[in-house]
Amino acid sequence: MSRSEDMIIQYLNEAHATELALVSTLRAHIAMTPEGSYRSLLDDHLDVTRRQADRLERRLAELGVGKSLVQTGVGAFQSLLGQVLALGKGPIDLLRGGGGEEKLLKNAKDECATEALEIATYDALEQVALELADEVTAELAADHRAEEEEMLAGLREEIPHLARDAVGAEVYGRKAYATSEVGAVHAAEEAAEAASRAASSLAGGAAQQAEGAARKVTSTAKEARRVPGVEAVEGEARGTVASEDDLPLADYDSLKAGEIVERLPRLSQVELAQVDAYERRHGNRKTILSKIDSLQGDAPWAGYDEQNAEEIESRVRDADDDEAREVREYERRHKARKGVLEAAERAVTTS
């Protein structure tokens, strides 16, 4: 590879890492954003960002950079992006506390900062490419920059509305932010509807399973006691920028697929999503991904995965029939602790 290609690749890699990190951030933000013009803007830009990441990857491939090399950029770049974006534990904290209006406003400001960083990234990439007579890359950079400029303008149009809502909530006690309309909850309701539809066209056990899932998700979404999907979004966001040391399974890279599959049921939903995102970026092994898929789904209640057997047993003793069944099913598929299973079984038969 020539010196000039090296340099173009370096700048392409940086742009690619930014887009990938932004996919995670946008998903986390969408999960906490109620429907409306601001949500649509985020939804649309998530699609744009994914396309941009693909196009960058294809350009890198044309320049002879393989997939595994492309992705090494992510870890190195996350710290810079981390300074701009507050990824942290956003959605869960938010939905447990108040102040959703202000959180949305803060998200929008962070997104503006990210877009400005992207615009500058593409300014630099375009000029580097032009200097080195790579017109294909220069055109790509200009196209992407135009899309980021459009997003930045869209965000700036939303900010006055979001600020008005924040004042309304903080000063005048007018709540504009309804937890029930939040993206994650809404997605859960859509999933429930889809599951219901699927259930009516399926037969036997599969139908029952789908109906059970639909019931569970619907009641949850209505009550907004917990927020389905947030754990997965959070885990995925963490996994996208994780290195091997951050993973919940020690020495992950040296474990065989079978060894990983065997250990997966012990992991929480956040950890499963984290491993899933990591595995997709690295080995991308089918056996592992499909096992994770079979284990993913909401725990019987928020915080279940983090509770010990004693805490779960004490709650399940007073649980209604539905909840006790949920505990039994979930526990069977995951940690399968004897005491928990017995307590759930007793609660099912006595309620």
Q: Considering the complex, what minimum distance in angstroms separates the CB of residue 142 from Fe ion?
A: 13
- For Fe ion, which is the closer residue by CB, 5 or 43? 43
- For Fe ion, which is the closer residue by CB, 147 or 326? 147
Angstrom CA distances, 255 to 260, 284, 347, stand at 6, 14, 39
- For Fe ion, which is the closer residue by CB, 116 or 202? 116
Contacting range for Fe ion; rule: CB under 5 A; set: 50-58, 163-171, 241-249, 331-339:
50-58
What would the x/- binding string for Fe ion be over residues 5 to 44, using CB under 5 A?
Answer: ----------------------------------------
Q: How many residues bind Fe ion (CB under 5 A)?
A: 3
Contacting range for Fe ion; rule: CB under 5 A; set: 113-121, 236-244, 256-264, 321-329:
113-121
Contact (Cβ atoms closer than 8 angstroms) between residue 119 and residue 153: no
- For Fe ion, which is the closer residue by CB, 25 or 269? 25
Kindly identify the residues of this chain, within the stretch 115-154, that bind Fe ion according to CB under 5 A. Answer: 118
Going by C-alpha positions, the residue among 52, 163, 266 that lies closest to residue 60 is: 52
Contact (Cβ atoms closer than 8 angstroms) between residue 102 and residue 169: yes
Contact (Cβ atoms closer than 8 angstroms) between residue 236 and residue 277: yes
User: How far is residue 342's CA from residue 71's CA, in Å, rounded to a whole number?
Assistant: 46
Tell me the angle at which helices 3-31 and 135-172 cross, rounded to the nearest 10 degrees.
Answer: 30
Q: Considering the complex, what minimum distance in angstroms separates the CB of residue 310 from Fe ion?
A: 47
CB under 8 A, 24+ apart: contacts of 319-328? 319/344, 319/347, 319/351, 320/351, 321/347, 321/348, 321/351, 322/215, 322/216, 322/219, 324/348, 324/351, 325/212, 326/216, 326/300, 327/300
Residue type, 229: G
CB count in 10 Å sphere of residue 49: 25
Q: Considering the complex, what minimum distance in angstroms separates the CB of residue 52 from Fe ion?
A: 5
- For Fe ion, which is the closer residue by CB, 48 or 247? 48
Alpha helices in 63-72 (DSSP H): 67-71
Q: Considering the complex, what minimum distance in angstroms separates the CB of residue 25 from Fe ion?
A: 11
DSSP state of 247: S
Contacting range for Fe ion; rule: CB under 5 A; set: 114-122, 215-223, 258-266, 267-275:
114-122
- For Fe ion, which is the closer residue by CB, 114 or 274? 114
User: How far is residue 15's CA from residue 77's CA, in Å, rounded to a whole number?
Assistant: 10
- For Fe ion, which is the closer residue by CB, 25 or 49? 49
Q: Considering the complex, what minimum distance in angstroms separates the CB of residue 144 from Fe ion?
A: 6
Q: Considering the complex, what minimum distance in angstroms separates the CB of residue 255 from Fe ion?
A: 34
- For Fe ion, which is the closer residue by CB, 52 or 220? 52
**Interface with Fe ion, residue 49, by CB under 5 A:** yes
Q: Considering the complex, what minimum distance in angstroms separates the CB of residue 67 from Fe ion?
A: 20
Going by C-alpha positions, the residue among 280, 251, 299 that lies closest to residue 53 is: 280
Burial of residue 108, with CB atoms counted within 10 A of its CB: 0-12 exposed, 13-18 middle, 19 or more buried: buried
Q: Considering the complex, what minimum distance in angstroms separates the CB of residue 148 from Fe ion?
A: 5
Contacting range for Fe ion; rule: CB under 5 A; set: 112-120, 124-132, 265-273, 311-319:
112-120
User: How far is residue 119's CA from residue 34's CA, in Å, rounded to a whole number?
Assistant: 27
- For Fe ion, which is the closer residue by CB, 13 or 49? 49
Q: Considering the complex, what minimum distance in angstroms separates the CB of residue 133 from Fe ion?
A: 25
Residues that bind Fe ion (CB under 5 A): 49, 52, 118
